Structure 1
């Protein structure tokens, strides 16, 4: 909120403005402090200012008001004697005027009582003569006590609520956290959560009540009132479940929105659904941003990685706000960028999540092998991971895995009391189906999805372990001799996971004409998101469309040096009874990618034998297709 307290000198503008600023938790500015030196000298000599004198002063005040609105608001005390001056200061529809009006003799007495002020009492009459009756705002009779004037001003401001800059729909964990992040960064936010009797009542109001330190939050359960509370063009962020709920919310919103309004879907929607919704809102003259958000609850509250796609014009409407709330990279630049048209923002979030699945599974495989194959304690594994995290292998997931290996509950390792059934929300599977659609090999990340599915069959796994008498075998030999190989294998497995994801993004981008900037995508993934890591910083600095991901500087060397170690570790794990699905798929994928002469010739011969599908020949470079009568 912006509040300007006006009146001739001596009416008590500074006193009232200071009280209001303290109550509203806003900065207070005294307009007298913005006069240039020549104006102060003129008034100190007892000469009133003219309109020309006031031009630079009014401009300085207008600039300060615009700057303050971006930071959440301010209270300003200044004379603003004429309506022309007030028009110059009307920088926002969120500006509220309080005009202090009083008897000339009362004001005279107050001015005589002031000490060391450059505005002399003798200049009062010139100010009164210049004063014009305000065209808008609240006129306040100064004959009351400061307390009475304060209460009347507050009541007026409450009756004139400001228009909020952003609206957030859905007060779940992520919606609430993003809304509080926006409010903390000075963005006035309206909160909306649906009303469901007996289930969801007063949810948005509870968020406001639990966070009294923010005066720039309003809560609603009525969708129309929520929309009416927003500044035009409206900016609305939906943080609700993907799927039918998004379309149902749009069905309710579109009839009560207007041309040029913006709706953002900050959830994990399928990118083809987002393509369709971009087109739908465009037909209605509105903007739609399918926006990936990564970082979990803490990231949403303190600084996530943000991936908006959709309409570039829509992104421009919230670029400043998103930059304020996002994480910052190592150079202080916001971890947010306009990704590209259509559903591209949700698409890269989908791929981000599939890489996340792969990274989590590799760490889970290593924890299991180290603890039950090499007989390491949880503390030893945590120490190994922590040591790795000090160098080029640093990553958020490595860091939290090291932490959780130390967490105890009633003296017992909590990890050992967690049921070994991994959940998933669908984005990993979407990546797999998209890879199949575009013909992109995706086996390492596909296995991370499959591993979660297998983990869900707990009862069957228990029964089969008894049927087939499966037990883990201890690895013979010192851990110290294996650790360098394990580290190299882990490093390469991560590179393979990222190469698979980036290859899918590149293929889809080229096919759909999105022109995705992968250096920039990697940059916004260097902080705030779940897969932030030293590897991502390397990718951000060195990625090039002109060479294969595996040939990128800083990556190629690890592919060459690490593949034997990854193969050896996979072989060790499998022969000792450990399932290593992502690392196994990773080495198979890599070997398949770097093998000049593959087994596919047998496949082609088989296909032609039973189905006459034809084949091409090595000794005929023309590309002609052949068929052989094999019988």
Structure 2
């Protein structure tokens, strides 16, 4: 059932909520309700005696107002005057209203309100309690703020003007930008959208896009930046969906002349987390807020519900959370796949590593395809085999790979006609750089990235294949063993990716909640899977999934197959770089006494880098003169 907007007029007692509420309701032809009329007798008596209400006193009253608001929203909407001084109170009042709760904050200094309240008669709130109201007031982030120094008619004019403006702006109408705009509109938000006007190349993109979709009928479309910015309610909230890198910086500079203090820019592209930190600091110096937000799900996810990973200040995140939560995918408990990741560039870092894990997951499925093909299966048969794996290894990437393998063009499978050159857009590269900088071995991600690089040398690969007369052989393995190797490698891949995030969180003091991060990766994003759902609970107990008893048992049972498959594929000369690396890495990680003692001795020999000794528990460092004169 369609819900209509409920406009809450909020502020401290004496700011004029009732007066403004009544006038606004008349202007908009909506019913008006004063929340004070719904106080219990006990609450009224307490306030009349000069005693402020506590949260226990208010909770029942707030729930009554919330029920009233929901009932009215299902009719034609209404205007409600209610102090709603704390964020928690506003949360109760807007429960189940979702995006249909709209807020108007009547602001003023203590002196302005005190003078106004002193003139009031027949009211049970004495002016002496005003100070306690200011003490608990939490200024709302998502509200039209109007000063009570304006006359009532001026206030109504300002509210109406702002109310007619858009709540949210989206800059950039590429594939993802268009899908997110439709998603926002489908969730009841009034949107302004912008796309740059380039004569003969990009003309009237926003207007044409609006005309193509019925759900965009109430959006405002622009190709002029100043008009776009001025169409938004203040403080403005603008999401940038443009190419990462210099383009993002150019867009920020183009917007800055038209922004006001307190506005928020949200970078929804795949930006480098270091640049996000720099942009945040730069904009902070201009009193503009900045959120770096990872968005995963591709075109379909952006339209139907992506996984969203915002990073920046917690207060700024909370001001945009209603928009992001509304458009995000929902997990199995119907909670949004969006959560506050942490400060600085943490959101973009987490999205970057998400993409790194994705690189390895894609490569693993490509290697499964190579092996199963070498075992004599055609694409349809490989798709059937992968279909049987879904019962215990379901994932989005597995599902789309099945669809890809079944797609035919004429009498042949389309996959057989696709050039074997794999591209990349930078996030896998950045993840590999980050894993080196932080000293964390995310070797499957690096292997997957380097496999893509190798693939691009098609002509050289063809030449060397002939030169070395390479003839692959059929490995002596079963489909079941291939599946177990795939599962083993996926465990290692997820361990490495999560470990990288955990170490970054410690190094940068981001305090990332890994379980919550996994939760928002259970739907909407590219690496969503049943395994990710299992990790939500595991990561509540540890940041090292390989120490979990269930994972330990699984890994032990899968390892023999992984050993056999890797050995057989090596003998058969099949390139399975990620599967091989999963075994190599795991062997190294589970070796108590490694070969690194030789490395450290070599370093000390040629560079006097020193070493520690196993027979000295003090941790002291030693140097040896390795050659006797």
TM-score (norm 2): 0.76
For 1:530, which of 520, 526, 530 is the aligned residue? 526
Given the superposition, is the C-alpha separation of residues 289 and 374 from structure 1 closer, same or farther in structure 2, using an over 3 Å criterion? same
Alpha-carbon distance in 2 for matches of 1:375, 1:490:
18
1:185-221 CA distance string (max 9 Å, x none): 0011101011111111111111101013433211101
Per-residue deviation, 1:320: 1.2
**Counterpart of 2:378?**
377
1:80-107 CA distance string (max 9 Å, x none): xxxxxxxxxxx9879xxxxxxxxxxxxx
**Counterpart of 1:430?**
430
Alpha-carbon distance in 1 for matches of 2:253, 2:154:
40
**Counterpart of 1:406?**
406
**Counterpart of 1:174?**
176
Correspondences of 1:15-164 after superposition (within 5 Å): 64-65=77-78, 71=99, 162-164=164-166
For 1:258, which of 257, 260, 271 is the aligned residue? 260
**Counterpart of 1:359?**
361
1:240-273 CA distance string (max 9 Å, x none): 0001111111112122111111100000000010
**Counterpart of 1:617?**
613
In the alignment, structure 1 segments of 5+ residues that lack a partner are 5-27, 35-55, 75-90, 95-132, 139-156
2:167–2:232 contact (8 Å) kept in structure 1: yes
What SS does structure 1 have at the residue aligned with 2:202? coil
Alpha-carbon distance in 2 for matches of 1:473, 1:313:
60
Per-residue deviation, 1:380: 1.5
For 2:623, which of 611, 620, 626 is the aligned residue? 626
1:532-583 CA distance string (max 9 Å, x none): 0011111111114646220124312122222221121111111111111111
Alpha-carbon distance in 1 for matches of 2:522, 2:602:
47
1:544–1:552 contact (8 Å) kept in structure 2: no
Given the superposition, is the C-alpha separation of residues 466 and 313 from structure 1 closer, same or farther in structure 2, using an over 3 Å criterion? same
2:538–2:545 contact (8 Å) kept in structure 1: no
**Counterpart of 2:450?**
450
Is 1:349 aligned with 2:346? no
For 2:569, which of 562, 568, 573 is the aligned residue? 573
Per-residue deviation, 1:484: 2.4
1:489-532 CA distance string (max 9 Å, x none): 11110010011111111111011111000000000000000000
Per-residue deviation, 1:610: 3.0
What SS does structure 2 have at the residue aligned with 1:554? helix
Alpha-carbon distance in 1 for matches of 2:225, 2:502:
40
**Counterpart of 2:338?**
336
For 1:491, which of 487, 491, 495 is the aligned residue? 487
1:345-390 CA distance string (max 9 Å, x none): 000000000000000000001101110x211111121111111112
Alpha-carbon distance in 1 for matches of 2:240, 2:285:
20
Is 1:562 aligned with 2:561? no
Alpha-carbon distance in 2 for matches of 1:386, 1:560:
25
1:291–1:306 contact (8 Å) kept in structure 2: yes
For 1:244, which of 243, 246, 255 is the aligned residue? 246
Larger mean CA deviation between 190-199 and 620-629 belongs to: 620-629
Per-residue deviation, 1:621: 2.4
Given the superposition, is the C-alpha separation of residues 136 and 535 from structure 1 closer, same or farther in structure 2, using an over 3 Å criterion? closer
Per-residue deviation, 1:474: 2.0
Per-residue deviation, 1:616: 2.3
1:48-72 CA distance string (max 9 Å, x none): xxxxxxxx9xx86987346799657
Given the superposition, is the C-alpha separation of residues 71 and 216 from structure 1 closer, same or farther in structure 2, using an over 3 Å criterion? farther
1:472–1:576 contact (8 Å) kept in structure 2: yes
Given the superposition, is the C-alpha separation of residues 412 and 386 from structure 1 closer, same or farther in structure 2, using an over 3 Å criterion? same
2:144–2:234 contact (8 Å) kept in structure 1: no
Is 1:605 aligned with 2:601? yes
CA RMSD between the two structures: 3.2
Alpha-carbon distance in 1 for matches of 2:78, 2:624:
79
2:185–2:215 contact (8 Å) kept in structure 1: no
1:93–1:163 contact (8 Å) kept in structure 2: no
What SS does structure 2 have at the residue aligned with 1:306? strand
2:396–2:528 contact (8 Å) kept in structure 1: yes
1:103-128 CA distance string (max 9 Å, x none): xxxxxxxxxxxxxxxxxxxxxxxxxx
In the alignment, structure 2 segments of 5+ residues that lack a partner are 8-27, 35-64, 80-93, 103-141, 146-151
Per-residue deviation, 1:445: 1.2
TM-score (norm 1): 0.76
Alpha-carbon distance in 2 for matches of 1:447, 1:253:
40
**Counterpart of 1:277?**
279
Per-residue deviation, 1:135: 8.5
Which structure has the larger Rg over C-alpha atoms?
Answer: 1
Alpha-carbon distance in 2 for matches of 1:161, 1:233:
13
1:362–1:490 contact (8 Å) kept in structure 2: yes
